[in-house]
Amino acid sequence: MTRIAINGSKGKMGQALKEAVNANSKVEYGAGFDKGDSLKDSLDDFDVLIDFSRPEASLNALSTCKESAKAMVIGTTGFSDSELNLINQASKEIPIVFAPNMSVGVNLTLKILETSAKVIGPDSSIEIIEAHHRYKVDSPSGTALKMGEVVANALGRDLSKCAIYGREGIEEPRDQNTIGFSSIRGGDVVGEHTVAFFMDGERVEITHKASSRMIYANGAVRAAHWLIDKPSGLYSMQDVLEL
């Protein structure tokens, strides 16, 4: 039985994760942590830590997991390049599943996007539109950026060089090789992502809509159970789902 701990256990996502753990017969709830709690006091109570907190809290938890040889599932978004490097370095010592979105549906969508980009991407103007609730602080969302990365890689492009995050002040025709991002924030939207491929005479849109946080929680628990017997390394949900 895989024993799971949750960082940020008192938040909305933390509560969803606890519900997902309790509903899964392959795992059990080991411990929960929030602000002021110390992972080091409960190391004997869990095998894998699931973290959907904030970058600083995630990195603090990562340091403890690395020191104590505990596996970790990270769903936090908004990391800087230097912070991402810390995660990559830690994965050389412990197994980590790191994904901006743990939803099975989203990760299937990523596979579809890869295929679509190869087939129609070179002839398309590509735009990514995402919507989330008013409390989400990072923009674009980690999932939108991952979608952009998948599409860019399929086309042999570097997302850091072809991404456009705002068009104010751009007074020239659209560059066909760019990938545009638009973010919407408001209400209680759990998450909606659309990648649109605009071609002359037609448009293909691939959309994923989330109506419950449980899709992320269930995916994270699935990842935690999958991770328990894996060697050190940095894994994605594509690995978990064998996509």
**132 catalytic, yes or no?**
yes
Residue 47 and residue 142 in one domain? no
Range in 24-28, 36-40, 62-66, 231-235 with the lowest mean pLDDT: 36-40
Residue 139 and residue 90 in one domain? no
Q: What is the model's pLDDT at position 239? A: 95
Residue 109 and residue 89 in one domain? no
Residue 80 and residue 108 in one domain? no
Give the structural domain span for 80: 2-98+213-240
User: CATH number of the domain that 194 lies in?
Assistant: 3.30.360.10
In the block, which residue shows the tokens 């990072």? 138
- Classify burial at 3, counting beta carbons within 10 Å of its beta carbon; exposed 0-12, middle 13-18, buried 19 or more: middle
Q: What is the model's pLDDT at position 76? A: 92
Q: Are 28 and 6 in contact (CB under 8 A)?
A: no
Residue 81 and residue 150 in one domain? no
Using one digit for the tens of pLDDT, what is the confidence trace for 128-172? 999 999 999 899 999 999 999 999 999 999 999 999 999 999 899
**136 catalytic, yes or no?**
yes
Our measurement of the distance from residue 108's CA atom to the centroid of its chain's CA atoms, rounded to an integer in Å, reads 13
- Which residue is catalytic, options 132, 146, 208, 225? 132
Residue 112 and residue 201 in one domain? yes
Query: 37: pLDDT confidence band, cut at 50, 70 and 90?
Result: confident
Mean pLDDT of 93-122: 95
Residue 123 and residue 165 in one domain? yes
Residue 118 and residue 38 in one domain? no
pTM of the model: 0.79
Residue 225 and residue 204 in one domain? no
Q: Is the dihedral of CA 160, 161, 163, 165 positive or negative?
A: positive
What's the domain count of the chain?
2
Q: What is the model's pLDDT at position 35? A: 83
> Can you state the angle between helices 214-227 and 104-120, rounded to 10 degrees?
90
Q: Are 118 and 206 in contact (CB under 8 A)?
A: no
| pLDDT above 90 (res 101) | no
* Rounded Cα–Cα distance for residues 164 and 145 (Å): 11
| pLDDT above 80 (res 36) | no
Residue 73 and residue 124 in one domain? no
Per-residue tokens: 77? 């978004």
Residue 111 and residue 137 in one domain? yes
